[in-house]
Amino acid sequence: MDLVVVRSGQRVFVEVIRSYLHRITYGDDGYASVISVPAYELAEVVADPSRSFGAPIFEQSGARIDDVLERFWSGETLEDAAEEFGVPVGEFEDVVRVTSRRAA
């Protein structure tokens, strides 16, 4: 199967693009309804326009990533913030690790 950029007609690496396309869940109308965010190793983070206006959320609890991170960055312990929002500590640690990376 050949995939191309619609605007330029440039071909893309099918294997790379296909791995990202598998992260999309499509609704009955054929449009994307949920996208699994690929940045995390352990955390299950999704963008779902029907929940939290499409902001990234923890899939299991529905807590917005930004809300949980703000609580942690304001001084609450990792464990307390995770418990309050119903997020597994390991998933929250993964999100903190990814959001704390510095650009090279």
At 84, the pLDDT band (50, 70, 90 cuts) reads: very high
pLDDT band at 83 (very low <50, low <70, confident <90, very high): very high
pLDDT reading at 1 higher than 70: no
Q: What is the mean pLDDT of residues 67-75?
A: 95
Residues 73 and 93: their CA atoms lie apart, in Å, by: 13
The answer to whether residue 4 scores a pLDDT higher than 80 is: no
pTM: 0.74
| Buried b or exposed e, range 5-34, using 16+ CB within 10 angstroms | eeeeeeeeeeeeeeeeeeeeeeeeeeeeeb
> Tens digit of pLDDT for each residue in 5-54?
678 877 766 677 777 777 888 889 988 889 999 889 999 999 999 999 99
Distance of CA 45 to the CA centre of its chain: 4
